Each structure stands twice: as C-alpha cells, then as structure tokens.
Amino acid sequence: MIRVNPNYSKIQANYLFAEIASRVKAYQAENPGADVIRLGIGDVTRALPAACVEALEKASREMGSDATFRGYGPDYGYAFLREAIARVDFQSRGCDISPDEIFVSDGAKCDTGNFQEIFDGAARVAVPDPVYPVYVDSNVMAGRTGAPTGDGRYAGLVYLDCNAENGFVPDLPSEPVDVAYLCFPNNPTGAVASRERLAAWVDWARATGALILFDAAYEAFIRDPDVPHSIYEIPGAKEVAVEFRSFSKTAGFTGTRCGYCVVPAECRAFDASGAPVPLQPLWKRRQSTKFNGVSYPVQRAAEAALSPEGRAQCRALVDGYLANAALVASRLEAKGFRCTGARNSPYVWFDCGADSWSFFDKLLREAQVVTTPGAGFGRGGAGFIRISAFNSRENVERALDRIDRVL
C-alpha cells in the first residue's frame, strides 16, 4: 500500500500566499465588481525592462531557425549568463566569485526550498521568526522537525526572534545549530543587516562548523551605501555561506522566472567523521539529476538585465517601487504606526496593534486592499502587517487614501 509522506500532515494546509489568494477570491465572489487593490504578495506589476524584451525576442527568433536553434542548455546555466553575473553582481563589489560558482535556476524560492536536500536529515536548523515560509516548510516536508507546537512553530526547529529590540536582525543562536537561514534585505520585515552583524554571523559559522543560507533576493533595493549587498563582502564567508539571488524583484521576472545560487568552491559541510566535504559537487549532482535548466530566451533576457542599459532600466523600476514604499511608510507613520523596511526594501512592516489576520480582513473588507498578515510569517509576526510596494503609484495612492478612511 502506498503511504503518503507523513511529514506533509504536519504542515499548515495552505501555503501563506495561497491562503490569502483564497480569502481574496471568496471576498470577490461575495462582492462581484469590488475594486480590490493588491499590496499582498510581492509580485511585480511593471513591464519587463526594454533590454530584456529585446533579448527575449531575439533569442526566440534564434530558436525558430535550425541554424541557431538550441536544445538542452548547459546543466548549470549558459556561460554568457554566469560570466555576466560573476562580473556585475560580485566582482564589481570586490567579491571573488567566479562563473563556475554560480548555478542558474528558475528562482530563489526553488533554490531556498531545495538546498536543504543535500544536508543530513538530522541537521539542526535555525530560522528567523518572522520568516519566509519556504525555509520552514521545506524542512518540515523533509522530516527535519517534530510536530507543530500550536503556536505557529514546529518542535525541533531553532527560532531566532526578530523584533523591534534587535532591529529585526536575529541574534546568534544560543544553542547548537548546523544551518541557519538569513534573508537581507529581509522578507517580510524589510530590515537590513549591517556589515558588523553579518561578520558576527560569519565568525559564528566558522567557529561552530555551521553553514549560512543567505537569501539576497531583495539586494537590488539597497540604497544605503554601508549595507552589504552580498554575504561574500564579509571576509571568510566563502567557506561558510551559500547565497541565493533572483531576477524576480530586480528585473520584474516573477512571471519570467530566473534566479541563481552561489556555491563557492571552498564552501563546506562535514561528514559523519567530521571531515570537511565540499558542497559544490553535491549541489551539482542534485541539480543535474532533478533540474534541466532555464530556457535559453530567459537566460538571454537575464543577461540583458545585467547589461549597462538593462541595469539602468532595472534601477528605474526598483526606484519606482522604493518611492511607493517610502510613501506607504510615511503615510502609516503619520497615523502613528511604527514601520520597518521601505528604505532598502519593497516591504513596509508595521505593528498594527491588533490580531494580524483580523486586521488583514478589515483592510480587505472595508478598504478592498490586500495586505499580508504578519502572523502568516510565524509567531514573531503576530500583530504585524506587511504592505508590498509592488504596484503602480496610482494604485498605491488610492490604497493609502482608502486605508486612511478606515483606520
């Protein structure tokens, strides 16, 4: 008899954003014609940069001719893209990352969810709280946790509290941990980590034999010159950190799909005898078994996003979303809410002074504005709301006027 994976019975029935989508759908079914403004899931709304569209068109035409057609691409991504990433995203910032340490994928959600497969089933995992749910759920599915504890947490995971007191940047674990997920600029809080705080994490991982999984999907939103864009700006990080990046929020690729992870040659874990084992061959083995790469036109579009023209267009896109975020924060602060994020992030995170699902429902029903309830990101998010700046200026202004009227 075929049995299901029992770990799936531990996880919440719905992924957070699926739950929000179903509540919005139910509301719209009850209120046909309601003009709902979506500031919930961080899904971009502006068109792809022109440089990317041109590259997509050109590459699609190449696929339409026998002479230039391409079948399966190289396992870890085309050299043209891996070289552009290494040069633009890392070497230009003084990070010694080479193209063969870059693994192109269809996005950071998949990579951050999949990477745990190459660790021991008994690895002790630390996550920030609040947290992007993928880090938790993928470890629950893999059997690395016990049962839910009834407060939005799981037995066996180490939760690192992020709150106003520590600036939503987790303190180092006070118990043994083998792998820690970090995300900066943070989803959901929008907080950023200083060089000193990241250096403390790198020192911790080097001293304890742990690994850092560093999600930098929102790196393009950093405008503060002192904030590191990559964990590899911290000396010694290459041995102890894997970094995840995405073109989704940077270049408007949420529907186009392209991201990558960096697994440096010297990045290590350990075997049962305590001998170091390089992670890169394991990740290569995993990817070449389970993944057939990103389409050629999409990789050409990602390459175009890294060209001088594409970078200027991406920066203008991101600047538009950052201006929206600044407006959201200033309007909420004027109403007395304490906000985090917005400055180097598309997200505004604020203490709503109420149960966050009730507050979410109030904004949906009375203002027809979709947000994300902080409790959906874990116990540490209870009482908070996340507003995403990914929408047109006009819609953000309309949403804020409506929120003003109901709060």
> How does DSSP classify residue 88?
I
Report the residue number whose CB is nearest to ligand MLT: 42
Q: State the DSSP string of 139-176.
A: HHHTT-S--B-SSS-BTTPEEEE--TTTTT-PPPPSS-
Applying CB under 6 A, among 11, 41, 200, 265 the residue interacting with ligand MLT is 41
Applying CB under 6 A, among 39, 42, 76, 178 the residue interacting with ligand MLT is 42
Q: Does residue number 310 form part of the binding site for ligand MLT (CB under 6 A)?
A: no
Q: What is the nearest approach in angstroms of ligand MLT to the Cβ of residue 187?
A: 5
Residue 301 near residue 256, CB atoms below 8 Å: yes
Q: What is the nearest approach in angstroms of ligand MLT to the Cβ of residue 336?
A: 26
Other Cβ atoms less than 10 A from the Cβ of 93: the count is 13
Residue among 250, 264, 362, 266 nearest 314 (CA): 250
Whole-number Cα distances in Å, 70 to 61, 63, 78, 140: 11, 6, 11, 39
Binding residues for ligand MLT restricted to 255-284, rule: CB under 6 A: none
Q: Which is nearer to ligand MLT, 280 or 345 (CB)?
A: 345
Burial of residue 290, with CB atoms counted within 10 A of its CB: 0-12 exposed, 13-18 middle, 19 or more buried = exposed
Binding segment toward ligand MLT, per CB under 6 A, in 39-47, 146-154, 205-213, 279-287? 39-47
Binding segment toward ligand MLT, per CB under 6 A, in 36-44, 56-64, 72-80, 259-267? 36-44
Q: Which is nearer to ligand MLT, 246 or 280 (CB)?
A: 246
Residue tagged 């924060």 (tokens)? 329
Residue 389 near residue 342, CB atoms below 8 Å: yes
Q: What is the nearest approach in angstroms of ligand MLT to the Cβ of residue 175?
A: 28
Other Cβ atoms less than 10 A from the Cβ of 207: the count is 9
Binding segment toward ligand MLT, per CB under 6 A, in 18-26, 35-43, 174-182, 230-238? 35-43
Q: Does residue number 245 form part of the binding site for ligand MLT (CB under 6 A)?
A: no
Q: Which is nearer to ligand MLT, 264 or 380 (CB)?
A: 380
Q: What is the nearest approach in angstroms of ligand MLT to the Cβ of residue 108?
A: 7
Strands across the sheet containing 241-246:
102-105, 259-262, 241-246, 211-215, 179-183, 125-129, 158-161
Q: Which is nearer to ligand MLT, 45 or 91 (CB)?
A: 45
Spatial separation of the C-alpha atoms in residues 20 and 271, rounded to whole Å: 41
Non-local (6+) Cβ contacts of 233 within 8 A are: 93, 94, 95, 195, 198
Q: Which is nearer to ligand MLT, 187 or 280 (CB)?
A: 187
Q: What is the nearest approach in angstroms of ligand MLT to the Cβ of residue 387?
A: 11
Q: Does residue number 376 form part of the binding site for ligand MLT (CB under 6 A)?
A: no
Q: What is the nearest approach in angstroms of ligand MLT to the Cβ of residue 257?
A: 11
Phi, psi of 394 (to 5 degrees): -60, -45
Q: What is the nearest approach in angstroms of ligand MLT to the Cβ of residue 43?
A: 6
244 SS3 class: strand
Q: Does residue number 346 form part of the binding site for ligand MLT (CB under 6 A)?
A: no
Q: Does residue number 24 form part of the binding site for ligand MLT (CB under 6 A)?
A: no
Residue 7 near residue 140, CB atoms below 8 Å: yes
Binding residues for ligand MLT restricted to 158-197, rule: CB under 6 A: 187
Q: Which is nearer to ligand MLT, 109 or 362 (CB)?
A: 109
The residues of the shown chain that bind ligand MLT, judged by CB under 6 A, are: 41-43, 109, 187
